[in-house]
Chains A and B, each alone.
Chain A
């Protein structure tokens, strides 16, 4: 196997194995996410769980769940590896750290997808939430996740330097829940807040996914109405920018001898 592929695969397998070793926490985490979703939609529906309104909210909520994992796990994972010294060992690998990050990201995407499926499919069946399948979900979902993980890399870079960024990570996670359109469509926000919301990662992804799933929009339609170009630009900026910022933080950490310090 090509060495770069081997490195990415290796990191992904490690991530899956470590995540699997936290099976019990994953089950609790998934149950908690379902409970929070039901709670929020119950209150927003003023005491009523309307299946028609639940479906678009669920799409947004699932994307936010990915965001939660992308931001939280990258930051928490790097901090834990700094403490245990395995981060330094990773940096002594023969391939660039970018490949390791991508492998780690793929591992997290796989485990989060399993978690989402295990938690929300039974819920969708139970509450009769209809999510019509369309192949557009795959490229649009991939683009949305790439942007989110780019954002996660920025928080990861900050973790290398400042170490204790849990509160920043929490703030960003909660900001996304309320501003990326997961619960409330962004066009209902006041104009300055809407502009901020549209600049966040995942907002355009949620808009695109909802249009594809519920309005039957294909990629050509999404391109013509400007949603897909905006999603591409947003994702490109966050993903490439995230990797570049991570790299810059890594260089700083190497110069200051911070990789092994906590």
Chain B
């Protein structure tokens, strides 16, 4: 006997354009295909205007697609909205998401009932969520009186209170301080590893995405330009990634002049040294870079192959796409 696992999220040929009066329509999402298996943390990345938010909102049934389908645990979002919406909890970017006039407890109970669940189990889950997020003592206080970090924790708890198997988090740490941001990150990890939830995380904090995501999908101009496990994506850039350490004897104008001759490399300052980091295609190119440094009189300390960061992979992929567009 064979068993088939239904993907938590299945997106097929999804497209959306926005018509504008007297102008060409803007294509926000263009024939997007994506499948996310249960329990995976997917980093959904892209520059502003890449189509991430439109995609997320189509997954939440907030925007109707022109073509294509989104299925959540097998339920089509547009044809079977009710059961599909029971699969998903979301914290959307740029808004409060919760009622500031209500208490944390009232918000949680409201959102659970909105998903059609109530009773003892919900009360217990709400109590557990508030306790684990260190909000239990202040559960009766209006959320408007909370700090930004506490409000975001309540919003996340509301997205989880009905025990939905899929969680969408759009910029969940935006505007949070270090401590609150750390708590949210720990929670995302907990959701996937302990509760087995499927998490879609959109963020511009690529270090966070690298830290938390099993897989990364990158959008550009409405299309997916990468969709790979995080390790495999980093591996793509590992071979040609270098860090070149210089003594910090160069002043800023000299450094700026130098960097302008070395496209693709970016500057990091640490421990009194300057490090140039980025992709260098091959040995000949590496010798070329060292030649430029030597000619500029830059005091070279160390050259080494380095692990690329997700940020560097992202920038590299974007530059490659830009080049292809220009050609």
* Chain A residues engaging chain B, CB cutoff 8 angstroms: 1, 3, 6-7, 9-10, 13-14, 17-18, 21-22, 83-86, 88-95, 251, 254-257, 259-260
* Chain B residues engaging chain A, CB cutoff 8 angstroms: 16, 18, 54, 57, 60-64, 81-83, 85-86, 88, 90, 92, 94-102, 106, 110-111, 113-116, 118, 142, 158
Please state if B114 and A260 are interface contacts (CB–CB under 8 Å).
no
Please state if B114 and A90 are interface contacts (CB–CB under 8 Å).
yes
CB contact under 8 A between A257 and B97, given known A10-B113, A89-B111, A95-B116: no
CA distance A93 to B101 in the complex (A): 20
Please state if A254 and B64 are interface contacts (CB–CB under 8 Å).
yes
Please state if A92 and B85 are interface contacts (CB–CB under 8 Å).
yes
CA distance A201 to B57 in the complex (A): 36
Q: Mind listing 26 A-B residue pairs with CB under 8 Å?
A: A3-B116, A6-B116, A6-B118, A7-B116, A10-B114, A14-B106, A17-B102, A18-B99, A18-B101, A84-B95, A84-B100, A85-B95, A88-B57, A89-B97, A89-B98, A89-B114, A91-B60, A91-B62, A92-B61, A92-B90, A93-B85, A94-B85, A255-B63, A257-B16, A260-B57, A260-B92
Please state if A18 and B102 are interface contacts (CB–CB under 8 Å).
yes
Q: How far is the CB of A91 from chain B (nearest CB, A)?
A: 6
Q: A92-B85, A257-B62 are in contact. List 20 more A-B contacts (CB 8 A).
A: A6-B118, A7-B114, A14-B99, A14-B110, A85-B96, A85-B97, A86-B96, A86-B98, A89-B114, A89-B158, A92-B60, A92-B61, A92-B62, A94-B114, A95-B82, A95-B114, A251-B64, A255-B64, A257-B18, A257-B54
CA distance A255 to B96 in the complex (A): 23
CA distance A6 to B115 in the complex (A): 10
Give the chain B neighbours of A93 by CB distance below 8 A. Answer: 85, 114-116
Partner of A260, one of B64, B82, B95, B158: B95
Q: How far is the CB of B165 from chain A (nearest CB, A)?
A: 14
Give the chain A neighbours of B64 by CB distance below 8 A. Answer: 251, 254-255
Nearest A residue to B86 via CB reads A94
Please state if A88 and B62 are interface contacts (CB–CB under 8 Å).
yes
Please state if A94 and B92 are interface contacts (CB–CB under 8 Å).
no
Give the chain B neighbours of A84 by CB distance below 8 A. Answer: 95-97, 99-100
Q: How far is the CB of B19 from chain A (nearest CB, A)?
A: 8
Give the chain A neighbours of B60 by CB distance below 8 A. Answer: 88, 91-92
Please state if A94 and B99 are interface contacts (CB–CB under 8 Å).
no
Please state if A85 and B114 are interface contacts (CB–CB under 8 Å).
no
CA distance A259 to B60 in the complex (A): 12
Nearest B residue to A18 via CB reads B101
CA distance A17 to B140 in the complex (A): 13
CB contact under 8 A between A257 and B114, given known A85-B94, A92-B88: no
Q: How far is the CB of A105 from chain B (nearest CB, A)?
A: 17
Q: How far is the CB of A54 from chain B (nearest CB, A)?
A: 36
